[in-house]
Structure 1
Amino acid sequence: MTQYFYDNVQPKTGQGADAQYALSIYVPPAHCTDKHAKIENVFDKDDAAQVKMLLKNGAKCELCTKPKNVIASRPVKIDEKTTEHSEHVLLYPVGNSLMDKLLAKARDQSCVVFYSYNSPCVKTCLQSADNILGGLRNWINKRKGQMNAFVFQEIWQKDKDKDLQTEFQNIDKIVPLYRCMKSSNAMECRKCVNNNVVDPFCLPKKKFFLESLIKEVFFLFQELLTSVIKL
């Protein structure tokens, strides 16, 4: 699914780089559990192209597809100093948001996926008074016991040196958090938090490498200690 988003919806900046956007879609459950399920059956390429064009032009997709199953937005500039982040655009105002309108149409047995190209930024989306956590809770409160997922692809560039473990744990306590990372023209997806432990796959590469190195050193130390004890 996320590979399809990247290939058919992903907007670009004026310089041609991948741009931040958020999209939410409801789909039959198989599309969230079976990698062979064809997303085109519920979000065809014509609809995807329309969403991409709206985003390119700075507009929102407000249930703009034929099945009325997609919402999407780029960040929205409010004034010279303020930009509403794309996740916030979809989730607020609580009770009358685009997400509320999407959920009103979603079938009980559907899977609702909220996708953000970048991870939610710590400063504004997760820690400010105007954070997105209330919007996420509103979503899940309306979908208790149903299939839901929050998915991101890249780490927000300004957060690559931050400790994101606690932030990701806080999101996962509300809605299951996943990362789908592009490599060799394919997407690898993993759940970010299991038993309250954050998978290094979901963390910045530097931290991922460091934690992997620590684990390897610890393993070698255990092996060495075992050998010494045997002697």
Structure 2
Amino acid sequence: MLVLKKAGLVYLANPKTATQSLRAMLAPYARATPKETGDKHINARIYERKWAVRITRKLGKRPETFAVMRAPMDHLGSWFRYRQRDALRGHENSTYGLTFAEFVEARLSDDPPPFASIGRQDRFLGFLDDGPPVTYLFDYADLGRLLHFLSDRLGARFDMPHRNVSPKTDPDILTLPDALLARLHKVHEAEFALYDRLHKDGMIFTPMAPVEAEV
């Protein structure tokens, strides 16, 4: 989480959506960020419950939130590739030696093992359960739109550095049998639908209800 006081924005870092690069780029503008949040991936629901009132009080106004979403298949593929790196070999989070299909099967199980324990993007972003959703949602496939938005809000020009990039792999490896792909779409129907809407519209804007700052 980063609080961009000048822009009246709070960045909620959805994992595997260029979060390290965005943090590095925005760090000079995030001096209002509470130290205890560190580099934690605070989701929309936790932000609303634990941080919204505090930050509203600190800034003197209700900030808007923004985040990035990635195509669900690409999101899973990035996690799979990231957890195949040599540094994780032998660790319970490693996907080394597994196929992408085995990884997805484990992800869809009732009790996913550590290597397949990955949160849903629609839940992280506040579009599942009781929300509330982020104010501005941007597409990972069109980060230029996000950079333009941030430039307007902060009055600066941005170029994103590359940080924490998942290892490259053959795209054919990240394919699934038809039956498993259909099952994934069924179980994560809301997540796929949300991304389809985002990709079509370019950005999703959801006004946030006002919050009374504590005295």
Of Structure 1 and Structure 2, the greater strand share is in 1
Of Structure 1 and Structure 2, the greater helix share is in 2
Higher-Rg member (1/2) = 1
Higher relative contact order (CA 8 A, sep 6+): 2
Q: TM-score, normalised by structure 1?
A: 0.28
